[in-house]
Amino acid sequence: AELQEALENSQRYGNALGEPPRRRADWAADIEPEVSVLGKVKRPVDVLWFVGDYASFHPRGRQASQALARVLNHLEVDYGILGPEENSDGDSQRLAGETGLFEMLAEKNARAFSKYEFGEILTTDPHAFNALKNEYPALGISYPVRHYSQFLAERLDQLGPSLTGKVPARVAFHDPCYLGRANGIYEDPRRLLAAL
């Protein structure tokens, strides 16, 4: 029943949580400088951040999105989000056997992508990374895509001077399957943790 509800929500609302699309960018309301929603700013950006469902709607995910937005702003990255035009990446739906639903969500995202100019896509969710990198191209939807851990690890020289406090903690990091096993990205998250 839970899976059926998530699939129905995905078809009806474009996300498994059943949240209204108009609320997808609410997490960014208090971020300064303001997070650019591409449909509003109508300008090219270097990076399109594909935020994802949980990072847009779940309370813990929203906190992580706000933190990443502050880091991107600190790094002066020229980025934007789709906001209400973003739909679920569809990877979990595909894995549940709903390939038609996956294709529908991918096509909706492709239509949104095609409306804007950007250099690459940045993802928060490893499933979104996997879908955009490995599954969307089979549908004729192909863009350069990176997970945020790759993106930030490449900018450790810029981030380094800002990391002034030490975190006196032992950390256990669980490699997300679709970041590690499926895509071979193991070292970038560890480099970021080591820098802290």
- Upstream peptide bond of 33 is cis (omega within 30 degrees of 0): yes
The answer to whether residue 135 scores a pLDDT higher than 90 is yes
Q: Crossing angle, helix 99-114 and helix 2-13, to 10 degrees?
A: 30
Closest-CA residue to 90 (of 75, 68, 107, 76): 107
Query: Using CA atoms, how far apart are residues 144 and 161, in angstroms rounded to an integer?
Result: 29
pTM of the model as a whole? 0.95
The answer to whether residue 169 scores a pLDDT higher than 90 is no
Q: What is the 3 state secondary structure string of 52-120? A: CHHHHHCHHHHHHHHHHHHHHHHCCCCEEECHHHCCCCCHHHHHCCCHHHHHHHHHHHHHHHHCCCEEE
Give the pLDDT of residue 163.
84
Residue-wise pLDDT for 25-70, tens only, equals: 999 999 999 999 999 999 999 999 999 999 999 999 999 999 999 9
Of 159-168, 171-180, 184-193, minimum mean pLDDT range: 159-168
DSSP 8-state assignment for residue 46: E
